[in-house]
Amino acid sequence: MQSVTERFLEYVKIYTTSDPENTKTPSTQRQFDLAHLLCEQLQAMGIENANVDAHGYVMAKILSNSKKDLPAVGFIAHMDTSPDCSGENVRPQIIENYDGSTIKLNDEYQLSPQDFPDLLKYVGQTLITTDGTTLLGADDKAGIAEIMAAAEFLMSHPEIEHGDVCIGFTPDEEIGRGVVKFDVERFGAEFAYTMDGGKIGELQYENFNAGSLKVKVHGRLVHPGDAKDAMINASEIAMEFHSMLPTLERPEYTEGYQGFYHLHTMSGEVEYAELNYIIRDHSRELFEDKKQRAEQIAEFLNKQHPGAKVIVELSDSYYNMKEQVEPVFHIVELAEQAMKSVGVTPLIEPIRGGTDGSNLSYMGLPCPNIFAGGHNFHGRFEFVPVASMEKAVEVIVAIVQLVGQK
């Protein structure tokens, strides 16, 4: 059997970064490289129905071996990595018996407990880090490796009674389009779990309501020597727009259930400027208020600057899964029981983000989120403890066993 660590090290070296500028599914053809490998590996385990569809979705089903009518449970992870940081030529480093000191990634970057105190929770354990030039890809290749390792274990232990176990790997989760072509009916699960959380113990059924905000500002270009009462500087107005959003509602000042506006890209000249934000809030009411505030600011600036044009474009990405999961809360309790059975303390807390499970829950597949084990996702300081991945595999198997005991 291939260990979860061996699988993870194999998968992170496959370049799968998604592309937010491409509207096709998958957004990058390179995601098929991992999809086809996973399909081949599933088939090699004896899961003959494993397949990859035209949109890059991998689906497979370990068929029930029980005479009882057991519910089908699913496990899902995404294949793409974030475009926020390079995912090409990932060269993971293995730090055995971590001693609590600063880890040198390369000559320029280091992973320090002073900057990342969570490191100290893993003294004595084996860590996998980046080499400082790319992200690692534990989000969510740790989840993939865990599901694959659990699948191989189940196929090797037919004495474990279970219902159908559905496996799904999706493209483009990092750009908010992970389940746009996901066929819930074909997947076949009654409920599922995304293995896409962070640190060990995380169990989440609440997430942000999420949207995007684009602000387009059209100004008027005039030679600066003749600009009095004639020039309209789009960049200045864009900065004015940003200054009118509440400072304390930025990511760096928020935590827990607090939402935010996050300015992630901006560009500007005199004639045209553009601001791109993501908007997040756990409360649907506050989420709608945030969108309304952006529209009100644009309306105000258009009145303040005759001749300028401030345009706000809003779109929703996903909603808080809590509304869909609470009616079937036993699936959260099932995961909590599974964690405790393998010695993991459940940390039930809201996701300050989203997963494929957010949209899947609104598509009729309730789908809480379970830890994959990684830290510092989307950047060069990402790391994952091996023991956390190993425990995630145990949690998956424990869930399957508990369902089999129904």
Residues annotated as part of the active site: 80, 173
Distance CA 242, CA 406 (A): 54
Residue carrying structure tokens 């956390």: 388
Tell me: is residue 174 an annotated ligand-binding position.
Answer: yes
Name the token pair of 159.
Answer: 């004495």
CA atoms within 13 A on the CB side of 369: 35
DSSP one-letter code for 23: -
Query: Binding residue per annotation — 282?
Result: no
> What are the backbone dihedrals phi and psi of residue 392, each rounded to the nearest 5 degrees, phi first?
-60, -40
Closest CA to 143 of 317, 318, 357, 406: 357
242 is annotated as contributing to ligand binding = no
Q: Encoding tokens for residue 312?
A: 């706000």
Place of tokens 């989840």: 143
How far apart are the C-alpha atoms of 184 and 191, rounded to whole Å?
A: 10
Instruction: Give the span between the Cα atoms of 351 and 346, in whole angstroms.
Output: 14
Q: How far apart are CA 76 and CA 144, in angstroms?
A: 8
Two structure tokens written together for 257 = 């259930």
Measured in degrees and rounded to the nearest 5, phi and psi for residue 268 equal -170, 145
Q: Which residues contact 193 (CB under 8 A, 6 or more apart)?
A: 73, 74, 75, 76, 331, 335, 357, 367, 368, 369, 370, 399
Q: Which two tokens stand for residue 34?
A: 């991992």
139 known ligand binder = yes
**Strands, DSSP E only, in 198-308?**
202-204, 209-218, 260-268, 272-281
Q: Which residue has the tokens 């483009």?
A: 172
Does the annotation place 196 within a ligand binding site? yes
User: What HEC string does 48-64 produce?
Assistant: CCCEECCCCCEEEEECC
Give me 236's structure tokens: 């200045």
Work out whether strand 202-204 and strand 127-129 pair parallel, antiparallel, or are unpaired.
unpaired
- Binding-site entries for Zn(2+): 78, 139, 174, 196, 378
- Binding-site entries: 78, 139, 174, 196, 378
